[in-house]
Amino acid sequence: MTLVEKILAAHTGKEKVSPGEFINARVDLILANDITAPIAIREFQRIGVGKVFDPKKVVMVPDHFVPNKDIASAEQAKLMREFCYEQGVIYFEVGRMGIEHVLLPEQGLVLPGDVVIGADSHTCTYGALGALATGMGSTDIAAAMATGDIWMKVPPTIKLIYHGTLGEWVGGKDLILFTIGDIGVDGALYSAMEFTGEAIDALSIDGRFTMANMAIEAGAKVGVFRVDNKTQLYIKSRAKRSYMVYEPDGDAEYSQVIEYDVSALEPQVALPHSPANTKPISQVGDIEINQAVIGSCTNGRLEDLRLAAEILKRKKVHPRVRCIILPGSQQVYLDALREGLIGIFIRAGAAVSTPTCGPCLGGHMGVLADGERCISTTNRNFVGRMGSPKSEVYLASPAVAAASAIMGRITSPDEVIKP
């Protein structure tokens, strides 16, 4: 069996599961946020069971419209907050919360071998830790909160092998953008993407989170990495319960095996209006920008902020550009403060926000007007994703976003940081 099949078999009590098979699986963690939780809560109340199956396995995080931007978002958050207090489930209030997919691994709530479901499509982020994590609809979440089980079809697995050594300024964001550009937004439809190879072995945990996060942008059900020493080191100081590490069998059957040599890979940029519309930075051309966003569940971790600070240090954001930095959690914010990164951002002329999804979904803290262009470290650039349907979003790494913020146009970090 593949890694994903091993995890699902263990959570169904079966010796073996196969792609295409419908199963009932026990869940280790259920997640919802301030957009999706209210729907799940109302459906849960309709079921009439009274109490969630296990309050220690349900987590709710307000992160999309917080601090609340209007009355409607305040009402959403209030409904979630009151349900959490009543049920005794795990809840993170503003000032202690973060962007859900940065916060949960950081808090040790997601561990290797887990089955995690979330009412958010980017729940697949946790596959970086060797967990099976996937997004589901709010009604599925309501049923899982009542029963502790989910039903799903076992996905086939695509094995992606990345050979070679990554060049300077090239990281997880570039690898996943390049991959989506190659296979398309439906290239892994309802499949598990298993990321392997020496370039992956060398990738940091933060880089792996970025790749797993965007598996959904290729249509995947999950994106997973094998557990190695880097994973164990990350988990060691965070885990508060036992966990199980699963390994794919040597004779596991994959629906596809795709191999890349990434030694010569340049930083990648996804042009409007699809994450698959990718080009190497040298082929992007002269594109002026109005805004740069560095953060989100894709690239709001400490490593991402360090990279941006390296570019912005002793530099200034272009006078016609708004540069918005969003630390992924309070801990990331605090660590960045201790390391002096926040000072670098502010001296450069960037705005630093409390953790929030904010502009990624066109919510607040950076909504675009007609005709504006933004380079962003977020994960989607569909029409109207960050505001006006006449605006444009370009996806890139924190290094490219920071360099572009300085130059006022999309550019490579090499243009800003001279050897």
Quick: pLDDT tens for 337-395.
999 999 999 999 999 999 999 999 999 999 999 999 999 999 999 999 999 999 999 99
Interstrand relation of 268-270 and 278-280 (parallel, antiparallel or unpaired): antiparallel
Report how far residue 175's alpha carbon sits from residue 217's, in angstroms, rounded to the nearest whole number: 13
Q: What's the rounded Cα separation, in Å, for the pair 162 and 82?
A: 46
Among 9, 35, 34, smallest CA distance to 24 is for: 9
**Beta-strand relationship, 58-61 and 149-153:** unpaired
Determine how β-strand 149-153 pairs with β-strand 22-26. antiparallel
Which residues pair with residue 32 across a beta bridge? 60
Other Cβ atoms less than 10 A from the Cβ of 382: the count is 13
Query: Angle at the Cα of 46 (from 42 to 51), degrees rounded to 5?
Result: 85
* pLDDT for 120 beyond 90: yes
Residue 418's pLDDT is what? 74
What angle, 0 to 180 degrees and rounded to 10, lies between the N-to-C axes of helices 330-338 and 341-348? 80
pLDDT digits (tens, 9 = 90+) for 67-77: 999 999 999 99
Distance between CA atoms of residues 294 and 310, nearest Å: 13
Torsion of CA 227, 228, 230, 233, to 10 degrees: 80
Over residues 129-144, mean pLDDT: 97
* CATH classification (class only), 3-259: alpha beta
Taking the C-alpha atoms of residue 58 and residue 186, their distance in angstroms, rounded to an integer, is 31
Q: Which residues 6+ apart lie within 8 Å of 187 measured at CB? A: 180, 218, 219
| Chain mean pLDDT for the chain | 97
Laid out side by side, the sheet with 58-61 consists of 90-91, 58-61, 29-33, 115-118, 132-135
Q: Are 222 and 155 in contact (CB under 8 A)?
A: yes
pTM value is 0.96
Going by their DSSP bridges, the two strands 291-295 and 115-118 should be labelled as unpaired
Residue 312: pLDDT over 90: yes
Q: 184-225: per-residue pLDDT in tens?
A: 999 999 999 999 999 999 999 999 999 999 999 999 999 999
Give the pLDDT confidence score for residue 419 in this predicted structure. 62
Average pLDDT over residues 253-280: 98
Range 312-321 average pLDDT: 97
Q: Is the pLDDT of residue 336 over 90?
A: yes
Which residue's entry shows tokens 């006449």? 390
Domain 268-413: which CATH number of 3.40.47.10, 3.30.360.10, 1.10.540.10, 3.30.499.10 = 3.30.499.10
Q: In the chain, what are the domain boundaries?
A: 3-259, 268-413
